[in-house]
Chain A
Amino acid sequence: MLDQTAQPARLPNAAGIGYKPQHFTALCDAPSAVSWLEIHAENYMGDGGRPLAQLRHLAQSFPISVHGVGLSIGGEGALDRDHLARLKQLCDWLNPASFSEHLAWSSHDEAFLNDLLPLPYTDATLARVADHIDQVQTTLGRRMLLENPSSYLAFAESTWSEPDFLAEIARRTGCGLLLDVNNVFVSATNLNFSPQGYIDAFPLDPVGEIHLGGHDTQADDHGAPLLIDSHGREVADPVWALLDYTLARSGPRPLLIEWDNDVPDWPVLETEADRARVALQEVPACA
């Protein structure tokens, strides 16, 4: 069993990374710019073995954020009760500093599609997502954070802006928000809006965590840039600038570097985490 009394109640306003097993030794060996870790919940839903043993060990030294990628909160159907029960089991065992999921859907008709699929922003979607978040928060017995997506297209039927939609969900359910500034930059480029304008409209008070990640650049059918949220490289400079813009308005928040594909060697990842640490140092405590 973990010593749950030793767990911090919340994530620190410091730099964290998405944990990859290849960095286990480096994290254990020496202090670094990394103050906390995020795990993908689904990777720790086995019965035992190395993943859970490593997590048990790391949780003694680092606050942990559990980040779900498969709950399909935006799904038209009911939430998968077995999956929700496994999330509860993990959170009860680990007592993480934070639990978060995505404004997206990924399961339909008993198939899990392993991607964060987009939602139309309508009253009907809003009611459904809010119901699902109520169910998650009640089942887990904790407040969750909901993350803004990367968008590659828009729904003609949408009647809400994304910041207003998220603000209303947070208001109705009491959930917090996870603001991914790379997602904001990707969506803003892909759908031709101002990323700063998005941040200005975004409800920053309920933001409990900020994500940063790398993106790839492609082109759409008309030659316009189409950014892909690939999490496979360094955070782009304009995204760092958007982070500074955000932090100046929100004040310090827990910052996470996500690097999930083509995972780099430890020094490269730590350099990214250090850049986040420095960005936080430059923020006045009360923005």
Chain B
Amino acid sequence: MRVSETEFRAALLDADQPVPTGLHDSAARPAGCRFDVYRNNVAASLTDALHEGFPAISSLLGKTNMDGVAGLFLRAHPPRTPRLMLYGAAFPDFLAGLEQLAHLGYLADVARLELALRHAYHAADATPITPERLGQTAPETLLTARLTLAPALRLLRAPWPIHDIWRYALEPGAPQPRTEPQDMLITRPDFDPAPHLLPPGGAAWIATLQAGQSWSAAEDAARTEAPDFDLTPVLTLLLQGGAITDLIPER
């Protein structure tokens, strides 16, 4: 008659499993549909969390398809912690592995973008440096310096036009996506993550600094990818987004 949590959990996530015996109503009749209240709470709340966490995926798939995909995902990858704000780290790879969605190759990268936006939202606060500080630094010092970037900064590189697809999914009237690969930068000027499309070479420049290398190494990396790389728009995005938190001259 004892119902273990193992037995309860197994029936909770699999509606084909019988309701454990030993659960009943006030007249000692089998619990029946009363058990479905728990089944529904678990599936519906996690499905809602995925809709909320991946609104562009939900829009691209449509509600019914997203419900179905979420149902598969939450059973294969239930949350590991009660911090649901970070739920879905495995969702991009899960989407990439679904045969039914193989024709929508970009979905995983759009999901990665949405995860990155969520992580940026909850990232630690940091005080940015002022543009003047960069302006007051001698060019030769700047070239050998390293930059510390804000914890909220995220960089995404994709073989798809993820910025355009993401906008198209969420913004009424957004233009049709182009067909080019796109790199994206997420900054968080105050509290709202701001996604930006990066010009060619921009992602290489930022990634090199993120890896702890110098300003000049970053320029080299950017020019390798884009010979006519222009730093100005990238630096402007970073400064306006409060994304540079320190400048460390070479010792």
Contacts and interface: CB of A to CB of B under 8 A. Distances in A.
Interface of A: 42-43, 45-53, 69-71, 75-76, 80, 82-83, 86, 105-115, 117-118, 120, 152-157, 190-193, 220-222, 224, 226, 228
Chain B interface residue bracket vs A: 35 or more
B9 A108 contact: yes
Given A49-B125, A153-B23, A112 B37 contact: no
Nearest to B193: A49
Contacts of B24: 153-154, 156
B71 interface: no
B178 interface: no
B80 A110 contact: yes
Interface string B1-15: 111111011001100
Given A108-B6, A152-B38, A157-B22, A114 B45 contact: yes
Nearest to A54: B191
Contacts of B152: 48-49
Given A53-B191, A226-B37, A42 B79 contact: no
A142 to B, nearest CB: 20
B189 to A, nearest CB: 12
Given A47-B122, A50-B121, A190 B9 contact: no
Nearest to A77: B5
Contact of B191 (A49, A113, A220): A49
A115 B80 contact: no
Contacts of B38: 115, 117-118, 152
Interface in B25-46: 25-29, 31-35, 37-38, 41-42, 45-46
A153 B78 CA distance: 24
Nearest to A119: B5
B104 interface: no
B34 A48 contact: no
Contacts of B125: 48-49, 52-53
B174 interface: no
B85 interface: yes
B3 A45 contact: no
A51 B42 CA distance: 25
B81 A82 contact: yes
B78 A112 contact: yes
14 contacts: A46-B83, A47-B124, A48-B152, A49-B125, A49-B152, A51-B122, A53-B191, A117-B38, A155-B3, A156-B28, A157-B2, A157-B3, A220-B32, A226-B34
Q: Is the interface of B mostly helix, strand, loop or mixed?
A: loop
A47 B12 CA distance: 32
Given A48-B152, A115-B41, 20 more contacts: A42-B82, A47-B124, A47-B151, A48-B123, A53-B125, A80-B82, A107-B82, A109-B6, A112-B82, A113-B12, A114-B46, A115-B45, A117-B5, A117-B38, A152-B35, A153-B23, A191-B25, A191-B26, A192-B26, A222-B25
Given A82-B81, A109-B6, A49 B121 contact: yes
Nearest to A116: B41
B188 interface: yes
A115 B122 CA distance: 23
Contact of B79 (A111, A117, A118, A193): A111
A192 B13 CA distance: 28
A201 B247 CA distance: 66
Contacts of A46: 83, 85, 121-123
Interface of B: 1-6, 8-9, 12-13, 22-29, 31-35, 37-38, 41-42, 45-46, 49, 78-85, 121-125, 151-152, 188, 191-192
A105 B5 contact: yes
A106 B12 CA distance: 11
Nearest to A261: B48
Nearest to B31: A153
B29 A111 contact: no
Contacts of A108: 5-6, 8-9
A46 B84 CA distance: 10
A228 B45 CA distance: 14
Contacts of A71: 82
A153 to B, nearest CB: 4
B32 A111 contact: no
Nearest to A43: B85
A118 B151 CA distance: 40
Nearest to A118: B38
Contacts of A106: 82
Given A48-B122, A48-B125, A154-B23, A114 B33 contact: no
